[in-house]
Amino acid sequence: MKRAFLFPGQGAQTVGMGKDFYEKYEEARNVFDKASGISGIDVKKLCFEGPEEELNKTENTQIAIMVTSLAILEVLKAKGIDAKITCGLSLGEYTALVYSGIISFEEGINLIKRRGYYMGNLIPNSEYEMAAVIGLDVSKIEEICNELKNQGKFVVPANYNCSSQTVVSGEKNAVEEAIEKLKLAGAKRVIPLKTSGPFHTEKLLEASRAFEKELEKVKFNLDEENVKVIKNIDGTYYNKNDNIKEILTKHIISPVRFDKAIKLMQEENVDEYVEIGPRKNINRFCKKR
């Protein structure tokens, strides 16, 4: 059986996440405690108690989801459950990179702490929104976004999750106008997401540049022994010739091509998709294809 591990991004958070694993497994306790020591954040309190308003802040959400995923992952590893292919959605890619050994646990925690801070704070002052568009052809979504953008209203596709779901991101008024147009165009549903920024768009250019400086401090260990990790930006595997710093810098401002990651896993004949995180959030994309 060919298995792939999938790691979720923002939107998967929920107050109480990881508590059951923490209480039951020493491996999970070690991860939460170690991550709190490295980051200087009480990740356990943040995940288990919230409050939701704090948990939903980007600078908190990213580290909370990553640590929860890594804690569950350690329990699976202790039970001999592994995978040869892995990928994540947005911040989930960092969990995949830690699992693969490309980034160390400590550097992964430090990176995601800074990434969350920059993405939550280094954005132009405005109101932003993201929304998932379900059941509408991506070409029509792109057409509507381009139409509004040509009118000076900022909204763009940010996450190509699967053939039946694309997430748009941008300024709140533009996204809300897009939602109405997308519904009229035949979208089955359009769902606003629990995020606070125009993620994976050009609006995060300052955050991307600041994060690039953090990446310069990191040692990446990319060799043939690593678990294969699929890149968000283009749906291909990381390889030893990649400039990982450049890829992860662009990652913040580039659309997530999870649809291409799914296509690659299908071509690799993956028959078991295991999502490791607070709740089922992206596994369904692989089923919908």
- 159 beta partners: 167, 256
CA-to-CA distance for 259 and 262, rounded, in angstroms? 5
39 is a catalytic site residue: no
Residues 113 and 63: beta-carbon distance below 8 Å: yes
200 is a catalytic site residue: yes
Residues 215 and 118: beta-carbon distance below 8 Å: no
CA-to-CA distance for 59 and 136, rounded, in angstroms? 32
Give me the catalytic one of 36, 69, 90, 169: 90
Residues 21 and 7: beta-carbon distance below 8 Å: no
Q: What is the CA radius of gyration of the chain?
A: 18
Counting beta carbons within 10 angstroms of the beta carbon of residue 111, is it exposed (0 to 12), middle (13 to 18) or buried (19 or more)? buried
Give me the catalytic one of 200, 208, 251, 254: 200
Q: Which residues are marked as active site?
A: 90, 200
